Structure 1
């Protein structure tokens, strides 16, 4: 099985590209971030920036591959008969290595997504964000927090602290999504690039 890992800071375009590929080509996509919502429910915590940060940091401190492992195990039925899989939202080199060990290094490709911080912040209010990022009510609640600039910056710092920069640095391909008019303009160009890189590897 071929596995395509999507890495990038919040609102860099990972989910929009992955969702479109899933809709058009039928390639299953798993979101590692959904494991966070499951854990918040398990601990009966209110979804907000503070609790989300607390859960992520505490779990990954104990097990750096916790979210990738949880999603790959709990949602196995979505991809076990597929030829390829998109794993969206990986945040560290440890999660990349876990995926490589599980599926074979030669079968894993890492795509890094990039846009500057201000561009990404302006995407919080995009009308398609909930649709492409998952069907969890918690996502809407989280975005209400992210609409505050200080929370947005804090989450960037948190993700960088988890090692996302190192994961990005070793990406096999980089997709630049820099465009203040996202997603109505440059996604057509960046998606064509993304689509080509995917199918060149199948």
Structure 2
């Protein structure tokens, strides 16, 4: 049975998806909230552009409430990962989502922080379909994310990791933080 949900939050390009690499070492499944939004975008027959994915995130929240993305994530977790002690949810963006998860399970958050300049450079290298290569669009996306109350999630996170240095050091810090969480529940 799931004992604890661990949410990963941070602005686009901060390094949230690296949790997948670290989680493997602990045999912890990772569910990506962004994948849920991208899947809903695909289901509507839309191309995965920054605008389409962003609009879908807004539409889902309008249709199902501000915790809209959390609802299918939790159903997915309970269907596929019920036998795991820990499950990581990558991409938590709102305090509504945090509160939704907390209604059902103990829930801790790890916030990943990186400067806008660093994040934009990473997105330029990453080139995921829904990433923008334009600074103004990048800022617009940041403002949309902040509108979902991601700033509150970051500010109230249980753990904070600054990701401005080299990737190996960042992974080590992420691993140390995850181990600290796991050890605190194993006592």
CA distance in 2, matches of 1:157, 1:165: 10
Which of the residues 155, 179, 187 maps onto 2:170? 187
1:136 paired residue number: none
CA distances 1:127-170 after superposition (whole Å, capped 9, x unpaired): xx5xxxxxxxxx83213xx2222221111111001100011111
1:159 paired residue number: 145
Tell me, what secondary structure is at the counterpart of 1:44?
A: coil
CA distance in 1, matches of 2:81, 2:95: 23
Q: TM (normalized to structure 2)? A: 0.88
Cα separation, partners in 2 of 1:37 and 1:190, compared to 1, 3 Å: same
CA distance in 2, matches of 1:48, 1:200: 40
CA distance in 2, matches of 1:74, 1:192: 25
Tell me, what secondary structure is at the counterpart of 2:128?
A: helix
1:117 paired residue number: 116
Gaps of 5+ in 1: 130-138
CA distance in 1, matches of 2:154, 2:171: 22
1:53 is aligned to 2:54: yes
Cα separation, partners in 2 of 1:84 and 1:189, compared to 1, 3 Å: closer
How many corresponding residue pairs? 182
1:112–1:175 Cα contact (<8 Å) kept: yes
- Comparing 152-161 and 71-80, the one that deviates more: 71-80
Alpha-carbon RMSD: 1.9
Alignment map for 1:58-137 (pairs within 5 Å): 58-62=59-63, 63-103=65-105, 107-126=106-125
CA distance in 1, matches of 2:136, 2:86: 38
1:115–1:176 Cα contact (<8 Å) kept: yes
1:8–1:112 Cα contact (<8 Å) kept: yes
2:30–2:88 Cα contact (<8 Å) kept: yes
Greater than 4 Å deviation, 4+ residue runs: none
- Comparing 147-156 and 93-102, the one that deviates more: 147-156
Alignment map for 1:30-41 (pairs within 5 Å): 30-41=31-42
CA distances 1:50-93 after superposition (whole Å, capped 9, x unpaired): 21121111221331111111122135343110011101101000
Gaps of 5+ in 2: none
